[in-house]
Structure 1
Amino acid sequence: MASIGKRGDKWHVRICRKDHPTVCKSFTLLKDAQTWAKNTELKLERGEALGRETVLLSTLLQRYLISVSPLKKGHKQEVSRINSWLRHPLASRDAASIKPAEISLYRDQQTKAGKANASIRIELSLLSAVYKCAKHEWGYTLLSNPLSDIKRPPPARGRERRLEEGELDALMAVAEGTVLSSLILLAIETAMRAGELLSLRWDNINFEKRTAFLPDTKNGERRIVPLSSKALAVLKSIERTGDTVFAVSASYAISNAFKRATRRAGITGLRFHDLRHEAVSRLFERQFNTMEVASISGHKSLQMLQRYTHLRAEDLAQRLG
């Protein structure tokens, strides 16, 4: 709501809104003050940018949460990160007033607290995306991005964990008779991600052609996955109780069940996603070429495929002769 008052020979306008920093301006004529107040309030109602780009960071974060984040595949995880930023003191600040040095301080504090570099990089990238969206899509054309030149923590080294001798048997022993046992075997035989396994539908499996169709994968591409004899046997052993092969709601449920299974089996340092590494490495060990492996796994670049490929040196030594 705008308030107009005279101090000295000037008319002063003050506009206060709960979701926006206070805006003030002075005028010689009352008429000009009233016109500016009316136009400015109208702009704020429409969500348009003002000359100073005055908008709370929390307002931008909430708009991103509502209009952008739901369109992403990682929406659920991103909601948690946005809410974390909304709880930070910077969220109550004018977005244009936040300096790169303050973001650098946040980065250093998170690093000192022991947070993983990958998590910090994702948090900073998210905030940068909010600023970019505000500048290029929401009309805040004068808003500068304080994260543009901020150095990100170095990315973590790719995991190299593969199944050791006897580990698969130990896992299958503790998971026998559960959904997890089928998920483990299919992950190794197909190189599918946990989310892809959960999205697998019976009507997208062609048992005659030995293929599974994935209409919507993590990288946005469709993919047809060839099925080995072992994968077919696993699928045929699963009772059909619905449209999807697995009645599991979220990937984290698989991760948690797998973590419990590894503890019971006495296995350390192994994650469910490592089975995708194992599957890709096994394909190369079976003499599939790079294009064939990428077609099966869905990797879009050789660089990413290399991160998921860990050939055993002792096996390569045998081939050297």
Structure 2
Amino acid sequence: MATFRKRNGRWNVRIRSNHHRTISKTFINKDDAIKYARETEAKIQRGLFEDLEQASQITLRELLIQYRDQETIKKREHGPELYKINKLCKHKISERRLSKLSVLSLKKFRDEMALTLGPSTINKYITIISVAIKFARQTLAIYMPHNPCDYIKRLKEPEFASEIITEDEEKRLLLNAPRSKASWIGLSLMLGIDCGLRRGEILKLKRSDINFQKATCILRDTKNGTSRQVGLSPRVIQEMLKQPLHIDGRLINCTTKDQFKFYWDQLKRWSDVNKTFHSTRHTFASRLAMKGWTIQEISAQGGWKELKILKRYTHIAPEYLAEKLKKNN
């Protein structure tokens, strides 16, 4: 039922319903107030009323901060997302209230960011906004008729760069490894190329996790949030046995990513190789695929959960394909 009150020259309408919270709105003309009351009561009865009051009271910045503090911080690798959210909070689009966050405003934001950032980065920003809105709708129970990000076309991203370490580059890297003060740098290269281990997995690996007799080890609490057991190549086992014992039980005497990166960059300069350490995983997947390993075997060893991600790491040389065709004919 609607009631009308005139206050300070304006008409305030209050609509009460047993199945809905009280709705209040102010108009200059009484006729407008009456019309609004009738339309709103009809929508409430049919279950079609869109209550945007909460969405009109919270800005995108406030939502992003809530999402950051309640959800992002719980994620294992939350650093990159945390950085992007903090950057979004400084952009003028974050000043918009959720009820005013339109498809057009998001398109303008996307096009503006495209002047200085790459497609992949821009798509990540749009995805963060989209996920934050889903958080508002599902967790905070803030009504929004739709998620405007669903109508934003993502920018086309460039082809994923094929980066593997050639056998010649590997030889040069291993040849110069003994020059380094980091006695573990050569072993780390082997663990990446032969066994597909990530840098973080190498840094956390302890001797107690290694079974030298069976040539296996367990990688605990990996990037995917799970642990897995993997095999170790003969040369990796031999190099592991050469490593000195450390008080904390770690296999290698390196505790930070920055320290690891310093010695890896140094080895690259000595060897005239311009590849990231992560390219060892690309090399691992590509070499084993061309040696006849199945997708399941490569995935189990390397820890990939999704086939589409594994495909990005596997680069089959055209010479290999040509040789396969030759054999088939």
| Bin for the TM-score computed over the shorter chain | 0.7 to 0.9
Q: Is the 8 A contact 2:55 2:97 kept in 1?
A: no
2:135 & 2:262 partners in 1: Cα distance?
35
TM (norm. structure 2) is 0.76
- Note the alpha carbon deviations across 1:84-140, whole angstroms, 9 max, x for none: 111111122212212222222222222232x23222222211111111101111111
2:273 matched to which residue of 1?
267
1:191 matched to which residue of 2?
196
2:45 matched to which residue of 1?
none
Q: What letter corresponds to residue 264 of structure 2 in structure 1?
A: F
Give the secondary structure class of the aligned counterpart of 2:151: coil
1:307 matched to which residue of 2?
312
2:64 & 2:55 partners in 1: Cα distance?
19
Give the secondary structure class of the aligned counterpart of 2:189: helix
1:82 matched to which residue of 2?
85
2:201 & 2:156 partners in 1: Cα distance?
29
Q: Is the 8 A contact 1:212 1:227 kept in 2?
A: yes
Distance 1:53 1:243, change over 3 A: farther
Query: 2:130 matched to 1:133?
Result: no
Identical columns (%): 25
| Contiguous gaps of at least 5 residues in structure 2 | 1-6, 14-23, 28-51
TM (norm. structure 1) is 0.78
Give the secondary structure class of the aligned counterpart of 1:166: helix
2:284 matched to which residue of 1?
279
Tell me which moved more, 190-199 or 175-184: 175-184
1:87 & 1:230 partners in 2: Cα distance?
51
1:41 matched to which residue of 2?
none
1:231 & 1:61 partners in 2: Cα distance?
45
2:103 & 2:258 partners in 1: Cα distance?
34
In structure 2, which of residues 199, 209, 213 is the aligned counterpart of residue 208 of structure 1? 213
1:118 & 1:255 partners in 2: Cα distance?
24
Distance 1:108 1:263, change over 3 A: farther
In structure 2, which of residues 232, 248, 251 is the aligned counterpart of residue 245 of structure 1? 251
Q: Is the 8 A contact 1:98 1:146 kept in 2?
A: yes
| Contiguous gaps of at least 5 residues in structure 1 | 1-5, 13-23, 28-48
Over the aligned positions, Cα root-mean-square deviation in angstroms equals 2.8
1:297 & 1:126 partners in 2: Cα distance?
28
Aligned residues: 283
In structure 1, which of residues 106, 110, 131 is the aligned counterpart of residue 109 of structure 2? 106
